Homo-oligomer: A and B are copies of this chain.
Amino acid sequence: MKKNNAYIGVDIGGTNLRASLVDGKGGILKSLRTPVRIDLGPDRAFEKLLAQCRELVEAAGEFGLKAGGVGLGVAGKIDPAAGTVVFSPNLPALNGFPLGRELGEKLGIPVVMENDANAFGLGESWAGAARDLDNWVGITLGTGTGGCLFLGGKLWEGAGLGFCAEIGHMIILPDGPPCGCGSRGCLESFASASALMRGAREICPAGGSYADVLRGLTERNELSAASIYSAARSGDAASKKLFETMGWALGIGLSNIFSLLGIDRAVIGGGVSSAWDAFIGPLRASLEKSASMFDAQRAVVVRGSLGDDAAQIGAARLAESSVG
């Protein structure tokens, strides 16, 4: 019967709720997106999630398929067994919310959960840039910096301590810039949208035309990683420098991960990976400078190939492999 099944993959981020109906090979049959508006409370967000899932269950029928289960990729720490969100920095209203359990009860089909970085990895591994890789590290560059590890062909989930692949909180520069986690000099403090925004705000006081542009955006609350990338592409040296620093930090982080794990493959995704050309050169130079135990020339660092869909496809994969 499995051949007739499709799976629903949901990516619950700080801004948007994205859900897709995915076929048994990782292809998207139908996609839905709506603002999560968590400020209106977890119950409203849950209603939106439920409505999306019901629409996709129905859509499966239209394709002559049956939705076999739902996978939820959530930005934050989740308890897969209990089906609850333990702690989500960007979705604090969901903390402790039994999202998976309630959804399963309402829909009457199995619901499984993962954090969004692992969902990204499962997606790229199933149908994306990591399809042929057994041992690799994934990095997601978004508001924060997430990660996942695949070892021996499987997602590595750590020793069951409730944290794993926290690549964003590996320290790159002791006593470096403050990080949202409370520590300093973490990868996230160099390689995330937050890091770019902090850097851009620091540029403003220096004056100059781009400083004026960035200050204007900041004042209108419109500053984003994308606007800083535009400034860099337009030739603004200070904005370019922010992406160079991002690449420098990613190169050191990857070198450390490769040396430790005896691997040399990485896939980078997340919204900020759209600025690929602004940081990949500095990343490769930094990786080469840092590498001593592995051949940096043979190391492969690529961009995820599923874009914004990776976590949804990965969440569907999780449902597929859990439910069968």
Residues of B contacting A293 in the complex (Cβ-Cβ under 8 angstroms): 163, 166, 169, 181
Closest B residue, CB atoms, query A261? B158
Cβ–Cβ contact A164 & B289, under 8 A: no
Interface membership of chain A positions 16-30, coded 1 if the CB is closer than 8 angstroms to chain B and 0 otherwise: 000000000000000
The contact string, 1 if C-beta is below 8 Å from chain B, for chain A 155-199, is 011111101111101111110000101110010000000000000
Query: B264, A170: Cβ atoms under 8 Å?
Result: no
A259 touching B163 in the complex, CB below 8 Å, given contacts A290-B183, A292-B181: yes
Contact of A263 among B159, B174, B289, B290 (CB under 8 A): B159
Contact A292 B262 (CB under 8 A): no
Question: Is A252 on the interface with B (CB-CB < 8 A)?
Answer: yes
A contact patch SS: loop
A230 to chain B: closest CB distance in Å?
29
Does A79 touch B at the CB level, under 8 Å?
no
A276 part of interface (Cβ distance < 8 Å): no
Query: Is the Cβ of B179 less than 8 Å from the Cβ of A292?
Result: yes
Contacts of A182 in B (CB 8 A): 292
A173 → chain B closest CB, angstroms: 6
Question: Quick one: which of A201-223 are within 8 Å of B by CB?
Answer: none
Cα A50 to Cα B256 with chains together (Å)? 39
How far apart are the CA atoms of A291 and B183 in the complex, in Å? 7
What residues of chain B lie closer than 8 Å to A169, measured between beta carbons? 259, 292-293
Contact B260 A165 (CB under 8 A): yes
Q: Which residue of B lies closest to A292 (CB)?
A: B181
Closest B-chain residue to A170, C-beta based? B256
A226 to B318, CA, bound (A): 53
Q: Does A97 contact B (CB under 8 A)?
A: no
Q: Does A135 contact B (CB under 8 A)?
A: yes
Q: What are 17 of the A-B contact pairs (CB < 8 Å)?
A: A134-B159, A149-B260, A158-B261, A159-B263, A159-B265, A161-B264, A163-B293, A165-B262, A166-B262, A167-B260, A170-B255, A170-B259, A172-B174, A174-B252, A181-B292, A181-B293, A183-B292
